[in-house]
Amino acid sequence: YADDLELMDWLETAIWPTEAKLNDEYVRYGTQLGIAEMLRSGTTTFSDMYFFMNTTAEVVKETGIRAVLSRGLA
């Protein structure tokens, strides 16, 4: 998992290229899965500060879980 890379190398070769491929659909499905796992394990509130916050907020509203959301800054 790139534990042999310096931070900037890891960001430039692994993280940023992956983030560039994200879209609302991926975030919606990922958020739904994450919330389902949280609810199943008894988590009632979470905090998130990333991209596509409108999509995340929609899923939070649909599921009824509590969340503290903010937009990611670049």
CA distances (Å), origin 22, targets 30, 42, 68: 11, 28, 21
Q: Which domain holds residue 27?
A: 7-71
- Exposure of 64 by Cβ count < 10 A (0-12 exposed, 13-18 middle, 19+ buried)? exposed
pLDDT tens for residues 1-50? 678 999 999 999 999 999 999 999 999 999 999 999 999 999 999 999 98
pLDDT at 1 (0 to 100): 67
Residue 2 lies in a domain: no
Mean pLDDT, residues 50-64: 95
The pTM score is 0.81
Residue 23 lies in a domain: yes
Instruction: Work out the pLDDT band at 74, boundaries 50, 70, 90.
Output: low
Residue 36 lies in a domain: yes
Q: How many domains does the chain have?
A: 1
Residue 27 lies in a domain: yes
Q: 47 has which bridge partners?
A: 68
Residue 69 is classified by DSSP as E
Mean pLDDT, residues 47-57: 94
pLDDT at 72 (0 to 100): 72
Residue 50, amino acid: Y
Q: How many CA atoms lie within 13 A of 19 on its CB side?
A: 12
Residue 1 lies in a domain: no
